[in-house]
Structure 1
Amino acid sequence: MSTAMPFDAGTTFLPEVTAAVRTAGAALRDRHTPHARGVSLDEVVAEIHANDDAVLEVLREPLLRARPGSQWAEDELAGGALPPGEWWVVDPAEGNINHVHGMDDWAVTATLVRDNQPVLTVVHLPLTGATYTAVAGHGAHLDHRPLKVSAKTDLGAALTGTGQARPGEDERIFRRIGDSVTAMLASGLVVRVSVPATMQLIHVAAGRTDAFWQFSDVRSGLVAGALLVSEAGGTVTDLAGAPWNTASRDFLASAPGIHAAALKTLAPIA
């Protein structure tokens, strides 16, 4: 990911965006149960859509109002470049599949993307109350405390992670995921395979884990974490080593000290 120009305007309306995302998070928390909801695929999908609808009902208008002239990216599973201008890329229930199965790894995310670079993001974890924020050029924070990525320089000591971006992806992507896990198991220390991407990327930004990669361009799962990691001092590229943006077809975010070694391990599979 290239170093974006500082988004000074973002600091003025970040509190408004944060408040809106926290309010939406409360709506999603109220829908959470400690047991799975839905047995058949149709029932699970219906629960997922119900979560999305409940959150968007309270989130969309406040975000558009916070940044007049901004637009809304409708499909949370879409990828690729956006048209010029400012767009809200939102995942109303990042980790929705976890939520409807009674698990804890889910969040509400809202990211403002300007000309295909994320410039402001809020990630709220309703069950813990934690809120991660970043504004381009102004650092990344967890509840106002600055975040900093890991200082590791040895991939052999690294805790890394990956996961699929969406159900039903091309079988070639599934094979790449499997091959990449095998390669990283041989090069790194431990590999976590889980969803959603944002819940892994907040750990990279906080220095708890050292790298995350994905063979996907699903914007809503990557833009928030990309900004958090880069603003926390990490390196964000595609798997060819080029700066990442929403048009990139794959993704790697890591501590800078292990980025080259992670690329060397993963690039032959990409």
Structure 2
Amino acid sequence: MNTDVTDHGLLSATKDAVIAAANAIKARFSIDTRPTDRADINARIEANDAVSMRILREHLAKVRPEARVVEDELATGLLPLGEWWIVDPVEGAINQIHGMTDWCISATLIRDNRPVVTAVHFPLTGDTYSASRGAGSWQNDVPLNVSAKTEIKAAMVGTGQAKPGESRKTYEQIGASVTRMMQTALTVRVSVPATVQLVQVAAGRMDAFWQFSDVLSGIVSGALLVEEAGGVITDANGAPWSFESEHFVATTPALSRAVTTALSPLV
């Protein structure tokens, strides 16, 4: 570990990294872009990822040269002990290449399978969401707090798929969970990427997010943001979430039981 850089200093450097990468991808963005087919979609995503990853690696290696980078964006499960960067070079890449605005760049430092520092930048709004363990969550310079709602029937909640080509079981769980939560909460959003919804949970604008997946790149940043904003991270059964969990729920202390009660029969 590079002991010359504290987690506070690391947070600043992580923000610089995601902002630099996001600005490069912003320069490649157009609201008028329209991919023509699956091959075109894949080529555009890969080109953007290459640009963003080069910048992220360059910045992050300066402050944590010993930390390894998780190469697979769809990685799941426990990592070997030590420090790792989990990054999403263009989170919401499918939106970005279709001219939509809900995408971002994220980088999270993992230490012994716990997220400790994270930063997420939305270049089209200029907002940076960040958190470090034990030091709170922030939107730019404003501290974040989860919702104070206590009634699930007043809650705005959301979910989405973690990747294309999910299993049939996962698709059925997603569909069933949307139905159950429509009967339980006030309104339900279904969209990608997960982090776009998770920052809203951390900011108290949404009240819960769940996902039937353990793809780490989509949830580790939001998990730390929500937790440091006073939220609760569990699996769908209400057990504490970890990298070994097969599903994920981020909500508030007051609503956690109601959310997991609705979702647990589906797992």
| TM-score after normalising by structure 1 | 0.95
The corresponding residue for 2:225 is 228
Once the 2 structures are TM-superposed, how far is the Cα of residue 61 of structure 1 from its aligned partner? 2.2
Looking at structure 1, the residues matched to 33 and 243 of structure 2 have their Cα atoms a distance apart, in angstroms, of: 33
2:124 to 119, 124, 127: 127
Looking at structure 1, the residues matched to 199 and 91 of structure 2 have their Cα atoms a distance apart, in angstroms, of: 12
Are 1:190 and 2:210 an aligned pair? no
The corresponding residue for 1:71 is 68
The corresponding residue for 2:109 is 112
1:218 to 215, 219, 233: 215
> 1:151 aligns to what SS in structure 2?
coil
Mapped contact 1:237–1:252 kept (Cα < 8 A)? yes
The corresponding residue for 1:253 is 250
Once the 2 structures are TM-superposed, how far is the Cα of residue 244 of structure 1 from its aligned partner? 1.2
Mapped contact 1:140–1:232 kept (Cα < 8 A)? yes
Looking at structure 1, the residues matched to 13 and 260 of structure 2 have their Cα atoms a distance apart, in angstroms, of: 38
Residues 128-156 of structure 1: CA deviation (Å, up to 9, x unaligned): 11000000000000102100000011111
The corresponding residue for 2:146 is 149
Once the 2 structures are TM-superposed, how far is the Cα of residue 37 of structure 1 from its aligned partner? 3.5
> 1:233 aligns to what SS in structure 2?
coil
Once the 2 structures are TM-superposed, how far is the Cα of residue 46 of structure 1 from its aligned partner? 0.7
Looking at structure 2, the residues matched to 53 and 232 of structure 1 have their Cα atoms a distance apart, in angstroms, of: 32
Are 1:32 and 2:13 an aligned pair? no
Residues 14-35 of structure 1: CA deviation (Å, up to 9, x unaligned): 1112111111110010111112
1:9 to 6, 9, 28: 6
Higher relative contact order (CA 8 A, sep 6+): 1
Residues 3-52 of structure 1: CA deviation (Å, up to 9, x unaligned): xxxxx931122111211111111001011111234211011111011110
Q: Match of 2:244, as an amino acid?
A: A
Q: Match of 2:235, as an amino acid?
A: D
> 1:161 aligns to what SS in structure 2?
strand
1:58 to 55, 58, 68: 55
Once the 2 structures are TM-superposed, how far is the Cα of residue 239 of structure 1 from its aligned partner? 1.1
Q: Match of 1:12, as an amino acid?
A: G
Once the 2 structures are TM-superposed, how far is the Cα of residue 80 of structure 1 from its aligned partner? 1.2
Q: Percent identity?
A: 51
| TM-score after normalising by structure 2 | 0.97
Looking at structure 2, the residues matched to 17 and 106 of structure 1 have their Cα atoms a distance apart, in angstroms, of: 18
1:138 to 135, 145, 161: 135
Mapped contact 1:37–1:47 kept (Cα < 8 A)? no
Looking at structure 2, the residues matched to 55 and 201 of structure 1 have their Cα atoms a distance apart, in angstroms, of: 22
Mapped contact 1:37–1:44 kept (Cα < 8 A)? no
Mapped contact 1:118–1:224 kept (Cα < 8 A)? yes
> 2:266 aligns to what SS in structure 1?
coil
> 2:120 aligns to what SS in structure 1?
strand
Q: Which runs of 5+ in 2 are unaligned?
A: none
Looking at structure 1, the residues matched to 7 and 259 of structure 2 have their Cα atoms a distance apart, in angstroms, of: 32
